[in-house]
Amino acid sequence: MSIAGFDDTGGAGLLADIKTFSLFQLYGFGVMTAETVQTPDAVLELSRANARRMRRSLETILKFGDIAGVKSGLICDEVTIDVLNSSIKLHYDGLFVIDPVQFSSGGRQILSAQGRQAMVKKLFPLADIITPNLDEAEHITEMQIKTRDDIKTSAERLLQMGPKAVVIKCSGRFGGEDFLLSSKHESFIPAQTELASQLSLPTVHGTGCFYSSALLSLLVLGKRIDVAAEKAKYLTERAILSSMEIDGFKSRLIDHCALRPFIEQCI
C-alpha cells in the first residue's frame, strides 16, 4: 500500500507508486495524504486530504486488506502524521518503508520544522527502513554532508531516531553511491549502470518515489535488505536512463513500461 500525495502528472506520489508495484506483479492499494496541482517541474498547489476520510480509508484497508507492505511518501502536516501513527500502531505490524519527503522536485519545502520533528518522533520508530536523499538527510539531521564520512555520520544519527535501517540516496554526488546502514549491514552501494559516468544527468521527476516503492516491492518478495537496496538502485538508474522527455517541461518522467525487462532480471 502507498500512503502518499496525488500527483496529477502520474510521475510521483500515489499513482507512481501503484505503477511501480504493478511492475513487480504486486497489487497496490492507496491512501491519499494530499492533493496537488503540479507539473513535472513544480508543485503549484498543495493541500492535505480530509483527515477523517484518510483515517477511515487507512484503517479499513489495513484491517481487511491483508497488506504485505506499506510505503509512505509525501506528508504535509502533523495531522497526517498523527493519523498514520495511530492507524499503523493499531492495525499493522508488517513491512513499513518511509520516504521522508521534505521538498518537492522543484525545491518547495513540504513539511515544517514542527512536522519534521513529529515525523521523527512518531513515524521513524515504526519504520523498517527510511530512504532520504542527501538533502533530506541534511535537513533531518541538521548537519552538512560534504564527505563520505559525513554520509556515515548522518546515517548513524538517522538510525538513532528509531528506524531499523537507513538508505541515504546520494544520486549524482559522491560517485553516485548510496549508503545502507542497519544493525547488520553497513556499506556503500556503488553505481549500478553507466549513469555514474555521464557528465550531466537529466532531471527526472519521481525517482525518489520509484526507489522506495521498488525497494518495498523487493522486500515483500523476500529479498534481503542489502540485496533489495542494490537492486532498487539499479532499477532507479535504469529508470533515469530510459526516462521520457515531455514537450514544454524541463524535467523528464519515468517510463514504467520501458522498465519491464529490467524488473524481470531483479525478481
Q: What is the pLDDT of residues 21-59, one digit of tens each?
A: 999 999 999 999 999 999 999 999 999 999 999 999 999
pLDDT band at residue 250 under the 50/70/90 scheme: very high
Per-residue pLDDT, averaged over 252-256, amounts to 96
Predicted local confidence at residue 105, as pLDDT: 66
Give per-residue pLDDT as tens, 173-208. 777 899 999 999 999 999 999 988 887 888 999 999
- Strand pairing class (178-182; 165-168): antiparallel
pLDDT tens, residue by residue, 89-138: 999 999 999 999 988 766 778 888 899 999 999 999 999 999 999 999 99
Return the CATH number at 38. 3.40.1190.20
The rounded radius of gyration (Å) of the Cα atoms in the chain is 17
Q: Is the dihedral of CA 52, 55, 61, 64 positive or negative?
A: negative
Please report the pLDDT score of residue 157 as a whole number: 98
The pTM of the whole model exceeds 0.85: yes
User: What are the start-end ranges of the H helices in the chain?
Assistant: 13-23, 51-64, 78-91, 113-122, 134-141, 148-159, 207-220, 225-241, 260-266
The pLDDT tens digits of the residues spanning 5-26 come to 999 999 999 999 999 999 999 9
Is it the case that residue 266 has pLDDT exceeding 80?
A: yes
- C-alpha cell, 32: 491519499
Alpha-carbon gap, residue 45 to 42, rounded angstroms = 9
CB atoms within 10 A of CB 56: 14
- Domain containing 133 equals 2-266
What's the pLDDT score for residue 198?
Answer: 80
Greater model confidence, 169 or 107: 169
Residues 6 or more apart whose CB falls under 8 angstroms from that of 144 comprise 138, 150
Residue with cell 511492475: 23
- What domain count does the chain have? 1
**In angstroms, rounded to a whole number, what is the distance separating the alpha carbons of residues 158 and 148?**
16
